[in-house]
Chain A
Amino acid sequence: MKIETIALKHLLRSKKQFFILFASIVLSMTLAVLLFVVVDKLKTDAGNSFDEIGANILVVPETSSRDLTYESVTAHNSNNRGVFSSRDYISINTIERRDNIATVAPKILQPVSYQNLDFILAGIYFQFEKEIKKWWRIEGEWPFRENEVLLGYKIAGSLNEKNGDELLISGKSFLVTGILTEQGTEEDEIVYANIMTVQNLFGLEDKISFIEVAAYCTTCPIEEIARQISEKIPDASVIIMAEAVKTRENTIDKFASFSIVFSVVILILGFAIVSLMMITSVNHRTKEIEILRSIGYRKAHIADLILVEGAITGLLGGIAGYLIGMSGAVQTIKAIMPAASNIKWDMIPAVYAILISTLLGVLSGIIPAVKAASMEPIESIKRI
């Protein structure tokens, strides 16, 4: 027989006491795991949503002249250099981390004049812009046909154009179907048309001025995605939009901090209760502990006995708490996020959860163990 056996026998045969200790650990581990997993899933989901609604990578040609600009990209004349081809745009979807690419939105920029006003005509894929700029609000309708345009807020005012009006650009008549609400950016001064219409109108077939990319960066550093794009398009400057990344990180960090702080608080409270119950148990076992001291148990043996009980309870409670917490998290996520992907039952988080629980079980036993070890054998004899 070993000290561990005595600890195990005590737990198994003192069922009521063990059940209370075990239930406390299971409850706190369940709550901590449930909260952590659900918030982690929310964090991932929020991160992905964040990534989808704004470009976090800008792929631009290496040019430097300043003219009319959009997203810091200069709009050149029709015969400009430094533009990409459709092949470059497609190649972004072939990088190793292509699963992290949410949306690729290529654009062609062309400086034009109308009613003595110089402005940029941006050729875009409207379906991709809808994805990448979910905050855009349109008065009217998104353009659908090849001759339909969307006007920025200011340019609409400058040109005095409304929905349903016609616009003549380079000899082609366009119908205004929508006006973008005020953005407070360069976007207010742009006219948006179908990318292929602009390419054909100005003889820029297969040309692209720049590309906006929305990438999921929860599972992959954005720097790595940018590096892989650079490899595919060597002549491009691949710019990480630091502001977007920083905002994302700040938002996501709040989720992470929330889940960690609350999980830790729950665990500390749970195990403080366990510690108090173990102290009560030690008080009830005074006679037994003093007898063990009388028959030759050192203080360290008594401390071991109590710590092993804490470890066993923590281990078993951790296993049960993890299983219940994960099951609860799966059901909670199904209920609050029906569209979310399933949670993975990975071994590594399970091992961490069980190790933490076991460690906390031992930590909870420290004060009771010190108390038990400080009991002197003489006390039991005095009562005889």
Chain B
Amino acid sequence: MSLIKLLEIEKNYPDGLGEFKALKKVSVSIDSGEFIAITGPSGSGKSTLLTILGVLNPPSKGQIYIDDIDVYSLSGDRQADFRQTYIGFVFQDLHLVPYLTALENVLLPLAISLYPGKEQKKMAKEVLNRVGLGDKYHRLPGKLSGGEKSRVAIARAIVNKPRIILADEPTGSLDSGTGNEIMKLFQSLNNEGITVILVTHNNENKKYVKKNFLVRDGLIEVNQKWV
């Protein structure tokens, strides 16, 4: 069953006197529980696609339905609520808040939820334990290694129990061993039914993903296998 439907999505950016077409009438469906890698050369429209999927960047034309909701027809506040409920982001630079500890960074999405304080802490500790940082709740990001920061970012992305995880080059700055550990973490989340979509250049990640969207010149080529 389709969780995400993109219908004739176009995205144009102003380019001098004309327009640059980042995405050209793209239509794809993503089922619930898929594990997709978005690949393609630089400037091909990968990040644009990811931001559109993340309800962060409205398309110039076309519609996107997530769970049958026309997400870009929602008001700004409702879009924010939608992101909080449905989507977990893992940014390339992780973007942990430097003055908050690992635990507090994970608590960030919960701070605007209705969960009581105790429940919030319990949930945050559970996900930190799950990503292997049970002993580093109170470390500031500056005192964590690259791999540990990635784990905190993943913990922050999943603490709200989202249905979709969007990750941009999650292993880009990690060594091979740590990168594999992070990918295994995504795999285990996917095995629980979470739809995982990540932008990556790393061929080592092939073995984890189930489907590949190759973005080239604003068009998407859907491959059942990343080859």
Binding site for B on A (CB under 8 A): 1-3, 5-6, 9-10, 13-14, 287-288, 291-301, 377-378, 380-382, 384
**In the complex, are the beta carbons of A299 and B168 less than 8 A apart?**
no
Determine how close the nearest CB of chain A comes to the CB of B152; give it in whole angstroms. Answer: 13
Tell which of A3, A6, A10, A298 touches B77, judged by Cβ atoms closer than 8 Å: A298
Cβ-defined partner of B112 (8 Å) among A13, A14, A301, A382: A301
Of B78-86, B177-185, B206-214, the stretch lying at the interface with chain A is B78-86
B108, A6: Cβ atoms under 8 Å? yes
Residue of A nearest to B77 (CB): A298
Contacts of A378 in B (CB 8 A): 51, 56-57
Shortest Cβ distance from A282 into chain B, in angstroms? 14
**Could you tell me which B residues sit within 8 Å of A by CB distance?**
47, 50-51, 54, 56-57, 76-77, 80-85, 88-89, 91-93, 95, 97, 99-100, 104, 107-112, 117, 120-121, 140, 156, 160, 168-169
Cα of A291 to Cα of B95 in the assembled complex, Å: 7
A9 contacts B95, C-beta separation under 8 Å: no
Closest to B78 in A: A298
Closest 6 CB pairs of A and B: A296-B84, A13-B99, A1-B107, A1-B111, A291-B95, A384-B92
Q: Which residue in chain B gives the minimum CB-CB distance to A291? A: B95
Give the interface centre of A1, A288, A377, A380 by most chain B CB atoms within 10 Å. Answer: A1
Our pick among B81, B93, B97 for the contact of A384 (Cβ within 8 Å) is B93
Please measure, in the bound complex, the distance between the C-alpha atom of A127 and the C-alpha atom of B194, giving whole angstroms. Answer: 97
A3–B47 Cα distance when bound, in Å, is: 30
The smallest beta-carbon distance between B72 and chain A, in angstroms, is 12
Given the known A-B contacts A6-B111, A294-B83, A297-B80, are A1 and B51 also in contact in the complex, defined by CB atoms under 8 Å?
Answer: no
Q: Are B83 and A1 in contact (CB under 8 A)?
A: no
Find the B residue at minimum CB distance from A3. B111
Q: List 18 A-B contacts (CB under 8 A).
A: A1-B108, A1-B121, A3-B111, A9-B104, A13-B100, A291-B91, A291-B97, A293-B80, A294-B89, A295-B83, A296-B81, A298-B80, A300-B77, A301-B112, A377-B56, A377-B83, A381-B56, A384-B91
Complex contacts, B47 vs chain A, CB 8 Å: 381-382, 384
Contacts A298-B77, A301-B112, A384-B91 supplied; 12 other A-B pairs, CB < 8 Å: A1-B121, A2-B111, A291-B95, A293-B80, A294-B56, A296-B82, A297-B80, A298-B76, A298-B80, A378-B51, A380-B91, A381-B91
Chain A, Cβ-Cβ closest to B92: A384
How far, in Å, is B58 (CB) from chain A's closest CB?
A: 9
Alpha-carbon distance A288/B108, docked complex (angstroms): 11
